[in-house]
Structure formats: C-alpha cells, structure tokens
Structure 1
C-alpha cells in the first residue's frame, strides 16, 4: 500500500508498505532511483513488514534541501523511523541507500540488522567516471512518456536488465510533465551533489559504531567495458571495521542486482536473517 507520511520534522515522504510478521525492514534505494527499485526484494521477503520509500528529491517525496548528502538523508531516515514508531528495524540499503542505511544504523539504538546491497564502500575515480556521464539524462526533456520509456529501455537493456511490465512501471513513475514536455522528477544538481557525498563516507568510523549483524553483498558484474561500479578493494575497510559481518558476492552487475529477480541472493538474505530471532 502506498501513502504519504509527514514526519515529526515536517518532511513528506512517499512510502510503500507491505505486511509481514517477522519484523520490519525499511529499504533505501539508489542514487537516481525510487522505492520501486526495491520491488523484487520487497516482494520476495514477504514474511517481513517491508517499507520502501522515496528518498527526498526522488519520486513523489519532497524535494531535497540544498545541502543534501548521504548524511542528511540518513537523518531523514531516522526521522521517518521515529515517526512510524518502528522498533528494532532491519535497515536495507542499495547503492546510495547502503551508505544512508549504514550511517543511520551507526546512530540508532536497537537496529536489528543492516543489509548493504552493493554500497557503503570507498568509491574511487572509476566510480565517478561511470556515474557522472549518466546523470546527463536527468537534464533532458522528452516529447512523451513513450519517448522517455524508449530511451530508458535502450539504456537498461544494454546493462543486462530484463525488460517487462515492472520496468515499464519503474520508468513511468520516475517522470513528470513540465511545460508540455516530460522529464525525470529528480533534479540533476541534487543528484550530483548527493553522489559527491559518497566520497565523505569513512567506513572505518561508521561501521565501528554498528552493533547489529551486517550483511554485505558486492556485485562484480561489469557495466559494459568499465568493470563493476564499486571495486572489490573499496570494501576492504567496510569488512574490516564491521564487528559482525556476513559477506556474499554476486556475478550480477549493479543494475541487474535490483532490476532482475535474484532468487539466490534472496536465499542468502533469508539465511542471514534467520540466524537471529528478529524482534517484533
């Protein structure tokens, strides 16, 4: 069920909640995404109450502030958790959402678990070279939703994403009409600023403050000829700093990880979560 939530600090988020009895997962999406990026994980982990949401500046949530960063988004996540009165949350983050979830977990008493899906490592210059050119699409306008959808299909299928009704829904959700044309709902300057804040992340400081079990999944699949988005070496400090960490690797690339079904990864997550009785 989708709904708008106004937090105690006055921010309005769009959330999508599905019911479950085994505890509450709150999922944070990637840099240019929205809550629909986590659809397959939300669908598969149906034993859990699962809340996905649009980070500020994405989807149907409020615009992001002019000083937004992974740090401010982590504060927003804690505000949302407090407003929804979630006790013992399981924080799940993909890409940028992993950075956000890790920072939030480091400040939160009573987190049940932290799940990091290809994020919360040290980004390098190769990451910057992969991401920044892709943000130009946020500045473009399109003649119709179909025109936008055609361009998105070319991009995603080149990256190995299976195209179907769900992806059609994803791309329709991320656009809006503006003066007779169509464009992405996200502001390119906001996205670029948030991306640059990845480089402020210090895993040795953040992960050392986290007491709950951590699951870290790295995606090694190449993005064209450029290798994976985040290099293996970038996760060394994350692994070393975390006190209780499970690690897993997938040959899927960064985008296949969320936009294609991943039954093997779901199985690994279920094993991780079942090792400890989740508080309700």
Structure 2
C-alpha cells in the first residue's frame, strides 16, 4: 500500500509498504531511482514487513533542500523510522546510494537487526564519476509525451541488459511529471549531482566500525557496456575490513540488472543471510 507520511521533522515522504511477520525491512533506493527500484526484492521478501520509500528529491517525496547529502539523507531515514514507530529493530537494506545511506543510518541507530548493502557503500573512484555524470544529462531533457520519454528510456535500459516489460514501463512512467506542457524526470539534476559527489565523503572505516549488527554485502561485477562495473571490487576492501560481522557475495549481473531484472540467486543468498539465528527478531 502506498501512502504519504509527514515525519516528525516535517518532511513528507512517499512510502510503499507490504505486510509480513518476520520483522521490518526498510529499503533505500539508488541515486536517480525511487521506491520502485526495490520492487523485486519487496516482492520476494514477502514474509517481512517491507517499507520502501522515495528519498527526498525523488519520486513523490518532498524536494531535497540544498544541503542534502548521503549524510543528511541518513538523518532523514532515521526521522522516518522514528515517525513510523517501528517496534523492533529494523533491517536496513540499501541499493547503490541507498547502501551508503543505510550504512550511515545503521551506525547511528541504537539497534539494527541487520544491514544489507546491494552494490554500494564502497569507495567510488574517478571511473565511477566518469560513468555516472554523463548519464545525468538525461535528467535535463524534456519530452513531448510520456510515450516519448518511455521510448528513450527503453533504448537506455535495454542497452544495459534490462528486460523491458510491464514493470519497467511502470518504473519510467512513475519517474516523470508534466512541466509547462512538456515531460521531464521529477528529480532536479543539481540535487542528483550534489548527492553523487557526497559519495566521496563516505569513510567506510568510520561508519562500518560503528555498525554492530550482521552485514550482508553484495557486489555486482557486470560491466556497463564496455566500461566495467560501476564500483570496482577493490573499492570494497575497507568496507569488508571495517565491518565486524560481514557476509559477502558477488554477482555477474551489472549494477542496473541487480534491481531491474529478477535475481533469484541473489534473493536466495539474501534469504539465507536473513534466516541466520543472529539476525532474527
């Protein structure tokens, strides 16, 4: 069920919640995404209460103030958790930028049941910047109609190995709005670029050392075209070294296939991690 929630600090967030009995998972999406990026994980982990949300500046949540970064987005996540009055320690699951946010939030929460990092919370390098920044140009474009936007999005996503179907059509329709008779992405390009640059402020050795719960780190090694993976494996070295209780896994899927295509093997790994005695409520 989707709904708007106004937090205790006055931010209005759009959340999508599905019921379950095995505890609460709160999912944070990637840099240019929204809650629909986590659809396949939310669908597969149906035994859990799963709350995905639009990070400020994305989807149908409030716009992001000028001072926003992964650090302040983590505070926004803590504000949302406090507002929702979740009874038991939550499981924080983050993809890409959401992994940074979830890791920082877990380091600040008194208790977290588990932390799941889906190809994020490592060290971004210059190659990461060269992959991401050119892709943000699409946020500046306007389109004559939703169909025109969908056609361009289809070309982009299918070139990255994404299966184009009803879910992807829903994803791209959700991420746009009408503006002065034209259609464009709901996200502000400057906000997205600022958030991306804040990846480089992340200090894994400081953040992960303060995370006391079990951690699951999944890295995606698949290449984006001929440019390699978004995050290099060596960029996760400090994340792995700093976490006290970490389980790691690797997938040959690329960064975008990880969320936009069904990933039964990854779900199996994740279910195995969550079923361990030490991460149960």
Secondary structure at the aligned position of 1:22 is classed as coil
Query: 2:4 corresponds to which residue?
Result: 4
1:231 aligns with 2:232: yes
Q: 1:142 Cα shift?
A: 0.1
Distance in 2, Cα, partners of 1:162 & 1:276: 36
Once the two structures are superposed, what CA deviation does each residue of 1:6-36 show, in whole Å capped at 9, x if it has no partner? 0000000000000000000000000000000
1:118 aligns with 2:85: no
TM-score by length of 1: 0.99
Query: 1:191 corresponds to which residue?
Result: 192
Distance in 2, Cα, partners of 1:279 & 1:243: 18
Q: 1:276 Cα shift?
A: 2.2
Query: 1:144 corresponds to which residue?
Result: 145
Distance in 1, Cα, partners of 2:158 & 2:271: 29
Once the two structures are superposed, what CA deviation does each residue of 1:100-122 show, in whole Å capped at 9, x if it has no partner? 00000000011000000000000
Q: 1:278 Cα shift?
A: 5.0
Verify the 8 A CA contact 1:57 1:186 in the aligned structure 2.
yes
| RMSD between aligned residues | 0.7
Verify the 8 A CA contact 2:162 2:260 in the aligned structure 1.
yes
Distance in 2, Cα, partners of 1:238 & 1:70: 16
Distance in 2, Cα, partners of 1:278 & 1:106: 16
Distance in 2, Cα, partners of 1:241 & 1:187: 34
Secondary structure at the aligned position of 1:229 is classed as coil
Distance in 1, Cα, partners of 2:15 & 2:232: 31
1:206 aligns with 2:232: no
Distance in 1, Cα, partners of 2:35 & 2:189: 18
Query: 1:104 corresponds to which residue?
Result: 105
Query: 2:45 corresponds to which residue?
Result: 45
Distance in 2, Cα, partners of 1:28 & 1:219: 17
Unaligned runs of 5+ residues in structure 2 are none
Q: Return structure 1 stretches of 4+ with deviation > 6 angstroms.
A: none
Q: Alignment length, in residue pairs?
A: 280
Query: 2:274 corresponds to which residue?
Result: 273
TM-score by length of 2: 0.99
Query: 1:127 corresponds to which residue?
Result: 128
Verify the 8 A CA contact 1:216 1:246 in the aligned structure 2.
yes
Q: 1:277 Cα shift?
A: 5.7
Verify the 8 A CA contact 1:167 1:259 in the aligned structure 2.
yes
Verify the 8 A CA contact 1:22 1:278 in the aligned structure 2.
no
Distance in 2, Cα, partners of 1:216 & 1:190: 27
